A and B are shown apart, each in its own frame.
Chain A
């Protein structure tokens, strides 16, 4: 009875149990006592068993908004089923050490971390938060999948997510590197993925310069924020990168870190904090900083946007809209630019859908990621706009995989910074 007494929602069970037939009451109380013996693993484990059970026995209330399920159209990719497999792996009903069960281990990584599930979850958790605890146990047993090990190797060898140090390519890409002298106002934290979009980095540098901001980029010393390792749950690599980032950021003397990647912002703030790593300096998305610069009059709209960009739709990055809780900045900035027609897709703001390229699914099952990107592109195209504005390099990369070859000339993905740089 005591267990239900502790849960306000189930207080109505108290009188039922009290008034039940003696035999029923005896059996029930025995079941209450035996729950952990019967359904929890023995020994040490990190898996969140309580919530894996809650999730696997749920009617799958988030299934309609799970990007990977909607992309695969297979029951196998359903959120509650992922939790069920996570539970079975944790309690040994499925042996994760048996190579024949690799497909079950792989399922634990087939999540794009978009966390739409959290919006609808009756228990208010995200499925990825559960899967991560299963990954912790798999890592402890030396069962990290090869595609994850490959990412960790790259992070350790190049300090970036590429097989070469992508930050060192700045010269080839015509990006100016600004080294710190230790007295910066702002540190512009360039994301690994954004190095694939040099025009955006250049636009950001141009905007910061126009606003008269004293900043640095330190691309010669720059390393990844560790987001891939955080997803894979390799905390040795996370800590190594986090310490380098902390040192680099503190060396700049900046009062504020601005990043062009919401994934980096999320890592440096929320995820580092959960991992016990404290970056004491505020970290925000660069478009949030630009919004402030507009408000302070440090940058001003001066030019008309070319006609080809007049009709736009917005792809809210999951990480910005849901994890960082900002659904207004992109719209506020676009609202300052005269003559634009903004058409929101059906799934927008905190209800945005994933580009397919977040989390671990794009390593575990690229086909699902591409389909998720295609689904999102279809939703964005349904607005009738051919220009997709966003503010995340991962989304820009992911969405590009969703555009059919024959449409590449018609459908354009534009980083908000490019538009700002054209307008100021």
Chain B
């Protein structure tokens, strides 16, 4: 099989390694024979991430990116040596662990070397007094959570990708979990990190409670998406496994009513671990069996932790729901959510019908939340070929919310699947910017949003690029992401 016979989506972005055989030999000498591969079977396994459009390509036999060398370093020293070679030869390096990213972050659009970090998966220590776990970052999220649960703890970071993502991926893409309203996003959870910088220097941020030691440099690397360094070790907050969980659900007449109920709950300093508001279309999709929620906006809450506090949170949450015209739907919808939250079947169902679908998460302050929702829905409906645009709200803060939009459709005449995909993405992000929102809440920038970074950050984007250049003067770490407008520059053609 010649992989070059497969349709390569990011063909125009690819650069070949000139002296590949020599590089492979050198890598094998350093990492060991079995930790380096140029075999087709290994190369093909790293040609995509979990972007939903890549599933449409997969069934068609197309590939997103085409790396030339796969490496599986076993320790930090091996990573440093790979980076040394990459800097010397100006070869792109794409860090990869579980490949669960959905914005193209782990797609090797310029080819190069894949640095698979799965071997760095040791859970090093639980510190019960400090309430922390220290782990290597290649560990799978579910395996970390299962380990913590067995010891009586939880990390509280439970993204829908829990089964398929790594701690490193969470940090790289600034992830958020379903329980984030209580436990926070990953940037709230990470207390310490070890990072290998692009030129091979190793820096360690020891876990700290809080500090006033100048600007908070460590936080700058959270959300770096593998462009600023490789996070190899992290210390995360943990919590005793909750002793009580209360399940609450209410159906509201409108999105506005539901948002108000949640906002007023949070104003009371009450943070249910899970809060999820489903617009009427998503309520019909997920809670069709709940009669009281017909044509309404279903909202589910999970309050957990200390028994007395949970009961109090329950009481206040219910009071705010009733005040905003909520109808009590009982525990059943929440139990249904618990049962189905990892039953992801839609990703498999749509591509065989050439339906293109995806989700886009964004954030907005409370005062623009309702407008942003309506603006995005109305804008995406206008995209030629659109079949659906729906939303739920799943991350809440005292000052704003995180929306999660889902679009789907079939490309119109003369459009490829990728054209349609990009049109929906661009329409959504433009509407978000127009509505005063922020373009990404917890999936990151990757390829899909990099051409909007300038609008998001204004002059700050120049500073960001300068900072990247200082750390990575040869631009070897995950090029084509965040700082380059890959889509706008005609990158990616189907």
Contacts and interface: CB of A to CB of B under 8 A. Distances in A.
Interface of A: 9-12, 16-17, 20-21, 23-24, 27-28, 31-32, 35, 38-39, 53-65, 70, 73-76, 78, 81, 84-85, 88, 93-95, 98, 100-101, 103-104, 107, 120, 122-123, 346-347
A159 B413 CA distance: 62
A27 B46 CA distance: 32
B39 interface: yes
A57 B163 contact: no
16 contacts: A17-B387, A24-B409, A24-B412, A27-B412, A31-B354, A58-B348, A60-B100, A63-B98, A64-B140, A64-B142, A64-B143, A73-B72, A73-B138, A84-B58, A94-B1, A104-B41
B164 A32 contact: no
Contacts of A35: 352-353
B59 A74 contact: no
Given A24-B412, A75-B99, A57 B351 contact: yes
B49 to A, nearest CB: 10
Nearest to A107: B41
Contact of A88 (B61, B348, B388): B61
**Which secondary structure characterizes the binding site on chain A?**
helix
Given A31-B354, A61-B163, A76 B344 contact: no
B349 interface: yes
Contacts of A65: 142
A93 B61 contact: yes
Interface of B: 1, 39-42, 45-46, 50, 55, 58-59, 61, 72, 96, 98-100, 116, 118-119, 121, 138, 140-143, 146-147, 150, 161, 163-164, 284-285, 288, 342-345, 347-349, 351-355, 385-388, 409-413
Given A35-B352, A53-B352, A122 B1 contact: no
Contacts of A62: 163
A343 to B, nearest CB: 12
Contacts of A39: 59, 352
Nearest to B100: A59
A76 B45 contact: yes
A73 B40 contact: no
Contacts of A84: 58
Contacts, number: 140
Contacts of B140: 63-64
B1 A75 contact: no
A413 to B, nearest CB: 23
Given A57-B55, A59-B161, A346-B146, A74 B42 contact: yes
Contact of A103 (B39, B96, B388): B39
Given A28-B410, A103-B41, A57 B146 contact: no
A31 B385 CA distance: 13
Contacts of A93: 61
Given A27-B410, A57-B55, A12 B147 contact: no
A11 B59 contact: no
Nearest to A88: B61
A76 B354 CA distance: 26
A57 B59 contact: yes
Contacts of A107: 41
